[in-house]
Structure 1
Amino acid sequence: MGDELVKESLRTLITANHILHHHKLVDAYGHISIRHPLKPNVYVMSQKMAPGIVESPDDLIEYKIVDNLPVDPQAKPGHIERFIHGHIFKRFPQVNCVVHSHSEDVLPFVVSDIPLRAPCHMAGFLGL
């Protein structure tokens, strides 16, 4: 049962990479990761490659949440943004998936002194 759960989770992660790329929600620098289904102190994300070309579990790397280092010291190079994923997994144990992107819709607010405001009730979490 455990092996099948891991295989299915990795297949889903690969598919998620393709979906996010297809819908242009992530570019070559966006990433998705999952918490390992059997090892809660480990997360999985692709090696240093664009999401649209992730093809198999061989393209994925397991990282330790405690220090964001690969579980396998011989792992291929990974994304430097993995630290974002790792810190979110560490801070929020209930989170099982993280997406990091360079969304063009949000980037203007990164370089602006104008605070985000809630333009509709669904964005109320932004505050006033």
Structure 2
Amino acid sequence: MRQGLEGSVGAGPMQGSPELERTVAEIVDASRILAHEGIIDSFGHVSARHPNSPGHYLMPRTRAAELVGAEDILIFDLDDALVSKSEARIFAERSIHGAIYRARPDVVAVCHHHAPQMMPFCTSDAELVPVFHLGATMGATVPLWDSQDEFGDTNLIVSTRQQGDSLARTLGANWTVLMRGHGATVAGRSVRELTFRSIYGARNADVQLKAAQVGTLRRLTAAEAVAASDFNLTPFAMDRAWEQWTRRVRGADEP
């Protein structure tokens, strides 16, 4: 096995290179942060590309995000096969994650969630658009993937390679994709960026819904959306939010 793929569930925290241990810790933090912020409930998941082996990714075993610990993180290859020696239950929807990592070498982290704020846009013809500066980090364009188009009536769970690849094609070069009748999937160039995009994408959806109720919606221009996203995804902004979010889920006395 390649260096850095030693980790498995059930024997304590995943050991390996400092980069691997840091990535595992960030998946745990992101899972708990997104649960605390109401983005992920008992369903949904966060993954990250393996820092030492781009042909693999790290993802928790089947468990509610709020409860995920380092010992729960497993290693998968890009065909979504389990590499870790474990008999733990694994998410069927790992197909989402593997497909995006195969299609997008620039993507380092992926989250699938069912945030309530996003669901009206998954169940209507309304377009989700950037309406405020932090919300622009979800991406200037948010496409909608409809499993019905290629696969007809399903249980709406993305559980096959073909379904995952279809979703990844709809995501394209964007950062957030809605899933008709299901939820949303978000990509990022780091775990912290992914967390930021996921939280503020949902907040953008909430603001958009409320704004439409009180008057004519005023969306950001395309240039504003790009400029705002670029600024808010710098360490200057993201690290400030990450520090606050991690203190909430770790406890105020932890670094």
Match of 1:71? 83
Aligned residue for 1:116? 127
Q: Deviations over 1:50-91 (max 9, x none)?
A: 0111122x20111111x1111136441111111101111111
Question: Does structure 1 retain, via aligned residues, the 8 Å contact 2:121–2:128?
Answer: no
Local SS of the residue matching 1:125: coil
Q: In the alignment, is the contact (CA less than 8 A) between 1:61 and 1:75 conserved in 2? A: no
* Cα deviations by residue, 1:87-122 (Å, 9 ceiling, x for unpaired): 11111011000011012122223232x241536384
Distance in 2 (alpha carbons) for counterparts of 1:63 and 1:124: 31
> Higher Cα Rg: structure 1 or 2?
2
Secondary structure in 2 matching 1:26: coil
| Cα distance in 1 between the residues matched to 2:53 and 2:130 | 40
- Distance in 1 (alpha carbons) for counterparts of 2:142 and 2:69: 37
Aligned to 1:125: 141
Q: Match of 1:15?
A: 29
Gaps (5+ residues) in structure 2?
1-15, 144-255
Matched to 2:41, the amino acid is: D
Query: Which residue pairs with 1:80 in the alignment?
Result: 92
Match of 2:102 in 1: 90
AA of the residue aligned to 1:118: V
CA distance in 2, matches of 1:117, 1:95: 22
Q: Post-superposition shift, 1:125?
A: 2.1
Instruction: Measure the CA separation in 2 of the matches of 1:75 and 1:35.
Output: 22
The number of equivalent residue pairs is 123
Q: List runs of 5+ in structure 1 lacking aligned partners.
A: none
Q: State the alpha-carbon separation in 2 of the partners of residues 124 and 61 from structure 1.
A: 33
Query: Compared with structure 1, are the counterparts of its residues 117 and 76 closer, same or farther at alpha carbon in structure 2 (3 Å cutoff)?
Result: closer
Work out whether 1:4 is the aligned partner of 2:15: no
Q: Indicate if the aligned counterparts of 2:128 and 2:142 stay in contact, CA closer than 8 A.
A: yes
- Cα distance in 1 for partners of 2:122, 2:91 equals 21
Identical-pair percentage: 28
- State how far apart, in whole Å, the 2-side matches of 1:62 and 1:42 are: 7
Q: Structure 2 length normalisation: TM-score?
A: 0.44
Q: 1:5: how far off?
A: 1.2
Q: Cα gap change, 1:75/1:36 in structure 2, threshold over 3 Å: closer, same or farther?
A: farther
SS of the aligned residue for 2:17 comes to helix
Aligned to 1:61: 74
